[in-house]
Each structure stands twice: as structure tokens, then as C-alpha cells.
A and B are shown apart, each in its own frame.
Chain A
Amino acid sequence: MGKRVGMEVSLAAAEAVKQAKVDVISAYPITPQTHIVEHLSEIVANGEMDAEFFCVESEHSALSVCLGSEATGARSFTCTSSQGLVLMSEITYIASALRLPIVMILANRALSAPISIWNDHSDVMSIRDCGWIQFFAENGQDVYDHVFCAYRLAEDKRVLLPVIINLDGFTLSHVIEPIEFIEQEKIDQFLPPYQPVHRLHPDRPVSMGGIALPPIFTETKKAHEVAIRSSMSKILDTWKAFGEMTGRYYYPIETYKTEDAETIMVIMGSYGETASVAVDLMREEGRSVGLAKIRLWRPFPFEDFKKATLHAKQLVVIDRAISMGGPGGPVASEVKAALYGEPMHPAVYNYAAGLGGRDVSPADFIKMVDKAEIEIEEGNREGFEIYGVRE
């Protein structure tokens, strides 16, 4: 059993990066991820970690630096939020297509305009299709644990894909939570040094990033698509190995009181904990409600999701972002895609809630479920609304 410490989640994330023996860290400040890079700079300045840490002049360069260093075989890390993510988004597509196993922590924050420093998922939703493996953390322990899982998974020769760990900005990044630290020897065994398949070194010159003409481009996309789809089994293996080491097991979909539930809420990120309080309150009233938490966002766990929710009468999907001009929220869109092929499937009612950091309490979840159940009863089987907007 490792040490259990009360620590701000951002700082715990930085400690995890230290314990993961990352080689290169490129940093750029943006609220609310800044505490992570600040603490990393202190760690390096104190000599607690041997890494190249430097501040770059923009997030676009932050990720570009990571591609350069990762390509030489150095384990690389950066973190960002919101505007920084969309600025570097050009490079995210390149990183995954070039199969460079970078790990990035994203402190989710709303996208401008208007500018907001507070939490929602609009930033990460802008790079849904970029080809990275994407996790959502629910609490501080998750974040800490996933740094190790992410590097081990990413650097697996059969995966070689970059990984994003999403944590809700402020709501999760800035709270103090109990974190159980893992002994360094255990981490070193779980996460050996990075052995690249291809690296930039004069002893074996390779060219990375050439131009693909139409006759070959499709094949490169197929290769990438297969890689991310087949990474699912390695993700499960990594979590299994991690669970064996620590006793903490993670799953693509984590359920709370869903087995007999008629109504299941679907949520991603730290709202899961608040929603589970709401589930308990509703259960006390005798309502048949449960909660399905999506931990693995990409590759989307279609089978696990169906297994967890197909039996329900209705799903209440609570999105933290809006797909403007589209089908409502992006999570609901994936959920509906997951259910589409099934002859019988639950109705799906979709909310976009907690936009730009607006608080969502257990009472709000209850109100959302109440309204959804009524709407579906009245025949509105796939509604969408923004929760709590003042008309």
C-alpha cells in the first residue's frame, strides 16, 4: 500500500509525470491546467526529476516539440486546455497519424467565444476524430493512475498511439483529493523505459512525414483506423495489469446501480460522482435509476456501452458540450450511433448541462431525469435541450 496524501489534483498529476520518468516536457500556461506545468517546473528545478523542461512560445509549439522529442525516442508530455488545445489541434492529427505515443493531460475548459476559463467539454469535442486514445477521469486518483496506464498503453508496440487524459478544469484540477501514491519500484516495473520502433537517429536514417498522393493515402488512413480500433484489447490489458498491481480496476464503461434500472443517466468526467449522489437520492424515493459513466471516449466502447444500457427503457445523456447545428450533444450522438443497429433500444433524451462551468448539483440531475422521463412518456423519444438556460 502506498502513501495516501491529500493533494490538489493538478499537483498529483505532475507528481505522476515525475514518477513516470518522462524525458521531455514542453509547457505553456493556460488556465486551468497551469498548476500542472508550474509544479513540474518546480520538480525539475529542485532536481527531483531528470527531464528537459522548457516553456515554449505557444501551445502549437508545445505539441510540436513533443513530436520532435518523441520521434527521437524520448518519452514526452505536455498539457493544455481549451484555446490551447484548438491551437494545437492541427498537430494532434499529425501526432496520431505518425504514431507517436505522446501523453497529454487536458484540463477541460470551455471554448471561446465568449471567453471562459471554466469547465466544460467543448475543447476536447473539437478533436473527437483526431485519432488519439481518449480517457475521461472522474477523480484525482484516476488522473494520477492514468498517467502510468497511458504511457504503458501508448508505447506498446502494437498500439503506438498518443493518449489524452481529460480532467475537468477547476472542478477536478483544482480540488484537493486523497491520492494514494504508488511506490516507484512498482511503477518502474509497470512502465519500463520507452523503446521506439522507429526513431530519428543517424545510425538508421528514416524519413517521417512524407507526402502521400491519392494512390496511397487511403491505405495510410486504414492503417491508423485499424490501429485505434484494435487498441481496445490493449487498453483492457493495461487496465487489468494496473488493477493487479494496485487493486484499482478501470473499465471502458463504469456502471452504478444500472443492473435493474429503467432510466440510466450517461455522463463523462467528474460529474459522474455528483450524478451518483443523485442516483442514490432517487433510489431512496424508489425510482429505478442508474448511472453509466463513459471512461473510454476513444476508441468508443460500443459493445460495453450496449451491454450496460440496452436493457433500460430510457437513457438520459448529459453532455458537457453542444454540437452546434448538429444532433445536440456529441456524447448523445455517439450513444445513438451505438444503439442504432439494435432492434430494440432505449429512448435517448439529451441535455447539455454545466456549460462554461455552471454548477450542476444532485438536485439538478434529479430535475433532468424528471423532465426526461415525462418527455419520453409524452412521445418525445429523442429530445435535446440545454439544461437550466434562462429563457
Chain B
Amino acid sequence: MTENLNVYAVRTLTQKEYFAPGHRACQGCAEALALRLVCKALGRNIVVASATGCMEVVSTPIPFTAWRVPWFHVAFENAAAVASGIESGLKVLMRKGRIPRKKIVTIAMAGDGGTADIGLQALSGALERGHNFTYICTDNEAYMNTGIQRSSSTPFGASTTTSPVGKVQMGQITWKKNMPAIAAAHNIPYVATACPSYPIDLVQKVKKAADIEGPAYVHILSVCPTGWRSAPELSIKLGRLAVETGVFPLYEVERGQYRLNMDFPKLKPIKEYIKFQGRFRHLTDGMIEEIEKRVHQEYEQLKEKAKKGV
């Protein structure tokens, strides 16, 4: 086993928990873990605008809240718009001297549905306007909170309740929408992908995103044992496999320059990743081959972009 020094760096993170236990997320929910790590990265001087979704529902069943930082939920599609309002409100109040000047980071949080589908418009607007905020998309690859329906972020072939396996169609028929690329196309200062299986990397990226002046976008793969039909204890392993197979590469785009954070001399076979997930159990060898080909193709394209960037 190769020595992974990152393992010991865990102790360098703050021990404070700004996302309290007692939330109602499923066993093994890597999205809840992602939020916990994001909060560790950011600390207490933030305001969070959350979209409707798993995390919003499990964290705030009235009268209980898991949030130890200020938090605001309005609706499903407007996390980025609400965050724009929060950022502007804080800015003008400080400028007018109505609240003391202090660094308070505005964070928008939404799932893949609330980002790539219904929330895309508000996100695009907020990125274009250049608000100083960080948008965190926790991507569990479907509308999980409403019972596992497909989103544009659902990977090809995955079985969901609205892209089920039937006699004529077998799972999701479209390829996963590339949200980090869409965010990067807005020419914002910082875009990154992250995964809770690599906690130090995630924390570093979220911190960087928050520190940067202007909009930043962080896309976090969130393994969902309930929706992916995987064993809860495998949530970290699956996230790692997603990265090691090239399905979810970890990279950053800083002012248009791509940087691949983890490269592998040889990507693990897709089967290693898929075999643990019930949502892929119907895949034929042909489909798996197709998926692998495309994953490798996109991985090479990413490496090309990163090469040019150095």
C-alpha cells in the first residue's frame, strides 16, 4: 500500500463542527459528509443560501437545525440568486456602516438538480454578474430527495425512477452534463471538482474558492448509497473509485487554466466502480465498454487542457 501522507493531515483540520450531528441524512451519506467538510473549510464567518434538496430537508426539520452558521433556504431554483442578494446586502450594509466591516463569505449550496437543471439560470446570472460568492454543488447524480429521479447530472446508463430499466430503454440515455465546464465558460476566477473521499483536497479547494475575489464554483461528487444502491460503508471507497477510474477527475480551473490534481498512469477499469452500484447492475458489457471509451476520451481531453495550462 502506498504511503498517503494526506492521511495524517486530517489532524490539521479544525475540530469544530459547524454542521451539527443529529441531522437526518441517510446512513453513509457522503453529501452530508461533504457539507461537514465544507463547513470545516469555511469556519463560522459565512452565510449559507441553500436550495431545496436532500441537505436542506435533512438539516432543518423545524424546530431543529443542524446549522451553526447563518443559513437561508428560499426555493429550489434560486440558491445563486438568494446568495447574490445576501452578498449585496452584506456589502452595502458594511459600506454604509450599518454593520461592522468583517470578512463574511457568502456561500450558495445546491444539489445537482438545483444546479444543472432548475437552478442553472440563477447560477449563470450570478456568475455573470461577478458576485463575490462561492457556489457549492453537491452532486449525488439524481433528484434524490424526491425519491431518486434522473437529473441532467445522472450518468449514462444509471437506473433511476424516471429513467428506469425497461424492455425498450435501459436507464439514463443521455450523458452527464458537464457543470464545471459550464461554470468555467463564464470566465470566473475559480472552478474546481472535489470529492469527500479526498478530504484535505476538498477543504483546500473550498478555502481557495472562498478566499478568491469574485465568483467561484466547486463541484463535489456525493456518493448516495440510497440512490446508487450501494452499501453505506462503501461511500468513501466509491468516491475514490470514481476518481481512480477517471469517471470524476479532480481538477481546478484557475482563471481559465486547467490543472489536474490527481493523475493516474493507468485508470482503473470502470467495472471496478460500477460493480458496487445497483443502479448500474443492468449494464451490458457493450454499454460498459461505451462508457469506458467515453470516460477515457474525456479524461484525455482534460489532460490536454491541463497541459496547455501549465
Contacts and interface: CB of A to CB of B under 8 A. Distances in A.
Interface of A: 23-24, 26, 50-52, 54, 56-58, 60-61, 64-74, 76, 90-91, 94, 98, 193, 200-202, 204-213, 216, 220
A70 B82 CA distance: 10
Contact of A69 (B63, B75, B89, B128): B89
Given A207-B65, A208-B73, A60 B89 contact: no
Nearest to B102: A202
Contact of A68 (B45, B49, B104, B128): B49
Contacts of B92: 23-24, 50-52, 69, 74
B74 A67 contact: yes
Interface centre among A64, A68, A90, A210 (most CB of B within 10 A): A68
B72 A209 contact: yes
Interface stretch (B54-62, B158-166, B226-234, B291-299): B54-62
B170 interface: no
B60 A205 contact: no
B77 A65 contact: no
Given A57-B125, A210-B60, 4 more contacts: A68-B82, A70-B89, A73-B89, A208-B71
B55 to A, nearest CB: 11
B99 A73 contact: yes
A94 B77 CA distance: 13
Contacts of B73: 208-210
Contacts of A50: 92, 95-96
B124 A71 contact: no
Contact of A24 (B68, B72, B81, B88): B88
Contact of A209 (B63, B74, B95, B96): B74
Given A69-B88, A73-B89, A210 B65 contact: yes
Interface residues of B, number: 50
B72 A68 contact: yes
Majority SS at the chain A contact face: mixed
A129 to B, nearest CB: 18
A187 to B, nearest CB: 17
Contacts of A193: 98
A204 B75 CA distance: 23
A24 B89 contact: yes
Nearest to B45: A202
A74 B89 contact: yes
A208 B73 CA distance: 6
B78 A61 contact: yes
Interface in B89-118: 89-93, 95-96, 98-99, 104
B186 to A, nearest CB: 12
Closest 9 CB pairs of A and B: A68-B85, A57-B125, A69-B89, A210-B60, A72-B89, A209-B73, A74-B89, A64-B81, A61-B81
Contacts of A51: 92
A310 to B, nearest CB: 43
Contacts of B81: 56, 60-61, 64-65, 68
Contacts of A210: 60-65, 73
B62 A200 contact: no
A88 B81 CA distance: 12
24 contacts: A23-B96, A24-B89, A51-B92, A52-B92, A54-B88, A57-B125, A61-B84, A65-B82, A68-B89, A70-B89, A72-B93, A76-B85, A94-B75, A200-B47, A200-B86, A201-B70, A202-B47, A202-B104, A205-B44, A205-B67, A208-B73, A210-B64, A211-B62, A216-B63
Given A210-B60, A216-B62, A72 B122 contact: no
B257 interface: no
Contacts of B25: none
Given A73-B98, A202-B69, A216-B62, A67 B85 contact: yes
Given A61-B122, A64-B81, A210-B60, A72 B68 contact: no
A167 to B, nearest CB: 24
A162 to B, nearest CB: 13
A71 B96 contact: no
A69 B85 contact: yes
B237 to A, nearest CB: 31
B302 interface: no
Nearest to B85: A68
